[in-house]
Amino acid sequence: MAEVVILGAGVSGHTAALHLRRMLGREHSVTVVTPNANWNWIPSNIWVGVGEMAKKDVVFPLAPVYARKRIGFRQAKATAIHPSGDHEDSRGAVDIEYTAADKAGTTEMLRYDYLINATGPKLRFEATEGMGPGGFTESVCTADHAVEANHKLREVIAKLKEGTPQTLVVGMGHGTCTCEGAAFEYVFNVDHELREAGVRDLARVVYLTNEAALGDFGVDGMVFDQQGFQTTSELWTGSLFRERGVEAILGAHVSKVEDGLIHYETLDGTTHTLGFDFAMLIPPFGGVPLKAYDADGTDITAEIFAPSGFMKVDADYTAKPYEEWRATDWPTTYAAPGYDNLWAVGIAFAPPHQISRPRKTTNGTLVAPSPPRTGMPSGVMGKTVAMTIADRINHGTGAKAHTASMARMGAACVASAGAGLTRGSAAAMTMLPVVPDYQRYPTGRDERETRGELGLHGHWVKLMLHYLFIYKAKARLGWQLIPE
């Protein structure tokens, strides 16, 4: 009998758990440890943040799904990993602390034969003074944050309806943020809501980003083939912003937020302040704090985790200049070096470097979008590691690892606004691969599959993905037929 423990129940962890349960016999156990009681389809938080959906539409309780699928469930947070066990048992172990109200604070040590770290991000609002729901800006990173963002947005719309001009700022709250696509989608939705409310003319909408160029999205931008000509995501995004009357401030590092005032520095080293009545700023991500100990109790956290808190895997972490970055630097198996039963997937793995070119302001401040790890790649990583573990349990520990590199797999990003089937609009992008491979493709990506389009169809795609992925996550009949 083998015991598999999965830390985290986001897209990658939950996907891994469902596939493992499907591929393993009942004599083996699969246990998920997550501090959250609910599963959240995070891409649709954007719609919650503008009131187009309610929180109940984007979350559901995990316990009934895991009970039905016979997956063990601990509502708890992991605090430490013992990959080589301890003085009592050489099997690996993980320390957990319960977060559910009835057992809050209770600790337990779980033994494992195989461990997947899919803990997702720690939202580092503290990186910028005054940022976040505890400060002066909103967030859409969780469903609760999005509900609060919508409340604040409604207050601003009410003031606009009274005839008071308002400034709305959407963007990135630090020079090293990731998830620019989410901010792009949210600003697109905010603009739509203001138009629907008939108050757009009184509102100033500003997109404040760490991207050095519009359309960078933390992936170094894209080149599209459009009617036989190459065009860029920069020009395409610029067109959308011009059409919508959204102002853009690029290459910005937000250093501090006060009540109604954002302080930021741009790449030329100049510092500025931007007044606001409503601001939604994405925080930088870090790894969820986890310690690691050797069998004799020695602290090996620095060996297992990168300084960012993300877990090191089979990537090439050699420091080298942007010009020497290669697609082959990116991990393929997601196994932790030195361990054949420990993996990190989704946002929990440490990327070898950024995808976009990192920059510094003339004052030396780092402005470097971090690599996005969106739902599609995260789900694929979770399934890939699940397949590796299932093979090793079912066919022996020598079974070859399955692979899935972000330099080979694609991703879709759909920024959709509106509701219903005939009144929405969307910017829909696909890219293949996520990490550009300039040795393989002249533009870094497959031009046939890398595209950006605007139109109602993108809204249908986003709605379809919303319902399909929630259906899949609930493990309803035929869920495994829906691709990651």
The residues binding another protein (CB under 8 A) are: 206, 212-214, 232, 234-235, 238-239, 241-243, 247-251, 266, 268, 270, 272, 274, 380, 384, 402-404, 408-412, 422, 425, 428, 430, 432-433, 449, 451, 453-458, 460-461, 483-484
How many of the other CB atoms lie within 10 Å of CB of 164?
A: 12
Residue 16 CB, nearest approach to another protein (Å)? 14
Transcribe 323-356 into DSSP letters.
Answer: GG--GGGS-SS-BPTT-SSEEE-GGGBPPSS-SS
User: Could you check whether the bond before residue 351 is cis, i.e. omega within 30 degrees of 0?
Assistant: no
Nearer to another protein, 20 or 96 (CB): 20
**Number of neighbours of residue 416 by Cβ within 10 angstroms:** 28
Least distance from C-beta 483 to another protein, angstroms? 5
Sorted by sequence, the CB contacts under 8 Å of residue 141 that are 6+ apart come out as 42, 45, 123, 282, 283
| Beta-carbon contacts of residue 139 (< 8 Å; ≥ 6 apart) | 123, 125, 132, 133, 145, 146, 149, 280, 281, 282, 283
Which of helix, strand or coil describes residue 448?
coil
Spatial neighbors of 387 by CB under 8 A, at least 6 apart, are: 19, 23, 402
What is the closest distance, in whole angstroms, from the C-beta atom of residue 18 to another protein in the complex?
Answer: 16
> Rounded to the nearest whole angstrom, what is the least distance from the CB of residue 367 to another protein in the complex?
13
Q: Which is nearer to another protein, 99 or 233 (CB)?
A: 233
Q: Nearest approach, Cβ of 237 to another protein (angstroms)?
A: 8
What single letter denotes the amino acid at residue 372?
P
Shortest reach from residue 184's CB to another protein, in Å: 14
Nearer to another protein, 90 or 480 (CB): 480
Q: Whose structure tokens read 């309803």?
A: 476
d(CA 267, CA 389): 45
**Closer residue to another protein, CB minimum distance, 290 or 432:** 432
Q: Which is nearer to another protein, 23 or 146 (CB)?
A: 23
Q: Are 21 and 70 in contact (CB under 8 A)?
A: yes
Q: Residue 212 CB, nearest distance to another protein (Å)?
A: 7
**9 versus 401: smaller Cβ distance to another protein:** 401
Q: What angle do CA 221, 267, 275 make, to 5 degrees?
A: 100
- Report which secondary-structure segment, H or E, holds 94: strand 92-98
Q: Which is nearer to another protein, 35 or 346 (by Cβ)?
A: 346
Our CB check for another protein shows the closer of 77 and 459 to be 459
Closer CB to another protein, residue 63 or residue 468? 468
For residue 370, give the 3-state DSSP assignment.
Answer: coil
**Min dist. Cβ of residue 75 to another protein (A):** 31
CA–CA gap between residue 357 and residue 444 (Å, rounded): 14
In this structure, the strands spanning 411-417 and 425-431 are: antiparallel
What kind and span of H or E run contains 262?
strand 261-266
Q: Tell me how far, at minimum, the Cβ of 430 lies from another protein, in Å.
A: 5
How near is the Cβ of 340 to another protein at its closest, in Å? Answer: 20
Q: Which residue has the tokens 């959308």?
A: 240
Query: In the chain, what's the furthest Cα-to-Cα distance?
Result: 70
> Based on CB atoms, which residue is closest to another protein, 97 or 437?
437
